[in-house]
Amino acid sequence: MAENKMINIIFVMNMGFFITFLYKGGFLFLMELLEELEKGIIVEIENVKQAISVDKIANAVLIRNFDLSLIEETIDAISLPVIASCRKGHFIEAKILEKVGVSIIDESNPSNLPYISKGEINLPIMRQINNLEEGEKMEEDIILRTKFGGIDEIAGLVKEIKEKLNTTIFASLKVASPVDIALLFQLDCDAIIISSMLFRSPNPPKLLDSITKAARYYNDIEKVLNFSKDIDKILPSEAK
């Protein structure tokens, strides 16, 4: 089991990101989530093989099922931060995720419970919102994310959030192309989560390479154009 002992737990930084001090095996690590995730690509994975395939390419992985075996195996197998989901308000699931060593808790799985109280968990928390009104009700240090959807429905919410709220917002896309990535980052989205539908592409490594390059050069239209050439040939069939 991967376990992190927390020291001086959370320092809140600009845009709602966090710097966390971790103590592992006698060495003190400064885990700068701001630098690792800002304008980065997070990939949802469903098995360890998928996680290994995006290691050192993506900026983090997301596991939406509360599958402790998968979560622990993924933490041990890759160098990227692991974000894992728990049910809304289920502080026991959240504390277990904290214990096994995830970097961020995604408190977005459905539940009738109220949200976890601040102070119960010593890790950054991310929550799904469906509209601006839900975002306005969240504490400032909560990372917001959209539901998984298409660019048409997600881009408008990201723009509205960044115009109205001083907070961090991650866009969650079912399918992403380089032009979608560039659009969202030019709208000041903080990071983008790509669903596991990525792995239904005829060529997942090539698609992810195009996406991550677009994230790096989102302000360079000529480069985004080049990354977008023949992209339709490698998008998942559901996107066509």
Residue 9: inside a domain: no
> In the chain, which residues have pLDDT < 70?
1-32, 34, 239-240
Say if strands 27-32 and 40-44 run parallel, antiparallel, or are unpaired: unpaired
What's the pLDDT at 237? 84
Q: Is residue 217 within 8 Å of 223, Cβ to Cβ?
A: yes
Quote the pLDDT of residue 10: 37
pTM, rounded to two decimals: 0.87
> What stretch of H or E contains 187?
none
pLDDT for the residue 12 = 39
Residues 6 or more apart from 79 whose CB is under 8 A from it?
Answer: 55, 56
Per the structure block, which two tokens stand in for 106? 């995604």
- For 142, the 3-state DSSP assignment is coil
In a domain, 8, yes or no: no
pLDDT of 240 reads 56
Read off the CATH number of the domain in which 152 is found.
3.20.20.70
Q: Is 2 helix (H, G, I), strand (E, B) or coil?
A: coil
Residue type, 146: T
Domain enclosing residue 108, as ranges: 37-239
- The answer as to whether 121 is a domain residue is yes
> Number of structural domains, the chain?
1
Whether 102 and 83 have beta carbons less than 8 Å apart is answered as: yes
Which residue type does 122 have? N
Residue 54 lies in a domain: yes
Q: What is the pLDDT of residue 132?
A: 97
**83 lies in some domain:** yes
| C-beta pairs of 17-21 under 8 Å, 24+ apart in sequence | 17/124, 17/143, 17/168, 17/190, 18/124, 18/141, 20/103, 20/123, 20/124
